[in-house]
Structure 1
Amino acid sequence: MNEVITEPSPEKSRKITRLITFAVIVAIVIGWHSSWLYPLKMLTVFFHELSHALMTIATGGKVVSFELDPRQGGAVMSAGGNRFWTLTAGYLGSLLWGVVLFWFADRTRLDRYATGALTLLMLVVVLLFSPNQFALIFCLVAGAVLALLAIKGSHWLNDLVLRLIGISCMMYVPLDIISDTIIRSHLRSDAAMLAEEFGGATILWGLIWLVISVVVGVWMMVKVWRSK
């Protein structure tokens, strides 16, 4: 006798989605300093620096070099471009990347295509910019893993990975802002350079970005809770 496999009901699907989403959030919060989350943190740093680079190009500048540091840091050396928007793009850009990736996972069936697009994005960074050695290795290795996932992985697995990346980006932004612009406001962060060149205080710019990131993160979680 053949068994008939049926799709879960919409209500059950919503419950599963909510459970996975909030389980991931709890796991990230509890294990934030765990070495297991290192790849996710470096991906967030990658998106942060990529946002600086893309805004530089969008405002008429040129990217001289693209650097990632294994100690969860990075830098983009650029010439020209709008300095205000280039400095602002780092934290808010990585936040936007997180929102877009999570939205793809939560609202579409295009998860494998989104994972494949991330692979192409990393290859573009390697080809167009001048990455340092660690950035080059990171982009090639992460790109290869994502390519394998897009080709061989199931829809469910691609969906889960996109959610992990999206949530980690959205959570990393406010945590990093608090650390680098409020608690350690003496650091030469994006906010500190913005304060030097355009006025205001490092903490002020950090608070503005913090409020935006928290509002966006809460809004996304509400959308997930109400998702159909």
Structure 2
Amino acid sequence: MAPLRHDLAYLTRRAMVTAGPVLIRDHLLSGRNLSVRGAQGVTLGVIAAYVVIIALLWNIPYVRYVLWPFKMLVIAFHEFSHAITACCTGGRVESISLDPHEGGVTHMRGGISAITLPAGYLGSSIIGALLTFCGFDIVASKVASIVLGVCFLLTLWWGKKDWLTVLTVLLAVGLLVGFWFIAHAEPLRWLVLFIGVMSSLYSVWDICDDLIFRKVNSSDASQFAKRYGGSAQCWGIVWSLISICIMAVGIIAGIAAFPETFAQQEQDSEHFAPTR
């Protein structure tokens, strides 16, 4: 317990040092605070590369199966967002099932559909923005991986009857744990960043699936349009634009909060939950 308390105390002090000036100073959004430094520039370049790579792989026939493991993770975020909002609005989740072709389904009773239907896209966008934010720093990525593990376990509870869901969750947790033990978790930040970018833009990729590849399961946008008017394409575009804005907020916050160099991040990571 002592090492854990030491790690938590260290993280708290580090967060106060990093976030204190951001919360106190009036020039939070000044050019100096948001100036892009070496490590941040590399991270922004990686984000741009991720966007292009994912867009290509997601929509090219046959090649798109390369993304299958990560697509299943993002679908799990999507369904988890449906489930958690259903519980928060008085509904009950009966089961969750994931399918790389049909897109996943959350079976639930009750809840407020005006909230639970868009929650899949917007919830996964918020999760993605938070992961993108954490992807700017190694220690933050470690913390994010712990939260991810908890979310995956909750999804596993609801989807325990579906073998593909169970396999996806176990592989995801194993991947996160494995990356902890490589170079003081330095590669973990790139994994967290990749998942964050993919989750942030899931609504964009998914609307492409609906318009081009036509999944078997009807989309949340089409369900929302049937109940509240408008077209599925319209709601899909609206939610996609909101997702992009949420992602931009996560990127700006990451630039403002984590100005450290790669060397500083590696040194900090050696003091927080060290693996060797």
TM range (shorter): 0.7 to 0.9
Q: Is the 8 A contact 2:133 2:253 kept in 1?
A: no
Q: Paired residue for 1:43?
A: 73
Give the counterpart of 1:148 among 178, 181, 196: 178
Distance (whole Å) between structure 1 residues aligned to residue 81 and residue 201 of structure 2 = 17
Change in 2 beyond 3 A, CA 1:153/1:69:
farther
Q: 1:106 aligns to what SS in structure 2? A: coil
Q: Paired residue for 2:89?
A: 59
Change in 2 beyond 3 A, CA 1:185/1:197:
farther
Q: Give the AA of the match of 1:49.
A: E
Q: Give the AA of the match of 2:153.
A: L
Higher RCO (Cα < 8 Å, 6 or more apart): 2
- Structure 1: state its 5+ residue gaps: 1-9
Residues 166-200 of structure 1: CA distance to partner in whole angstroms, max 9, x if unpaired?
Answer: 11112332121244269969973211211222223
Distance (whole Å) between structure 2 residues aligned to residue 182 and residue 210 of structure 1 = 16
Distance (whole Å) between structure 2 residues aligned to residue 83 and residue 182 of structure 1 = 26
Shift of 1:222: 5.7
Q: Give the AA of the match of 1:13.
A: A
Q: Is the 8 A contact 2:92 2:108 kept in 1?
A: yes
Give the counterpart of 1:214 among 232, 244, 248: 244
Residues 113-164 of structure 1: CA distance to partner in whole angstroms, max 9, x if unpaired?
Answer: 2112212321222235544121122112222222232355633211100100
Shift of 1:205: 1.8
Distance (whole Å) between structure 1 residues aligned to residue 121 and residue 218 of structure 2 = 15
Larger mean CA deviation between 217-226 and 108-117 belongs to 217-226
Q: Paired residue for 2:26?
A: none
Residues 65-106 of structure 1: CA distance to partner in whole angstroms, max 9, x if unpaired?
Answer: 111014261001001111111111011111111101111122
Q: Paired residue for 1:15?
A: 41
Q: 1:78 aligns to what SS in structure 2? A: strand
- Cα RMSD of the aligned pairs, angstroms, is 2.9
Distance (whole Å) between structure 2 residues aligned to residue 186 and residue 157 of structure 1 = 36
Give the counterpart of 2:110 among 72, 77, 80: 80
TM-score if structure 2 supplies the norm length?
Answer: 0.69
Percent identity between matched residues is 29
Q: Is the 8 A contact 1:56 1:86 kept in 2?
A: yes
Q: Is the 8 A contact 1:180 1:189 kept in 2?
A: yes
Structure-to-structure mapping, 1:89-104, within 5 angstroms: 89-104=119-134
TM-score if structure 1 supplies the norm length?
Answer: 0.82
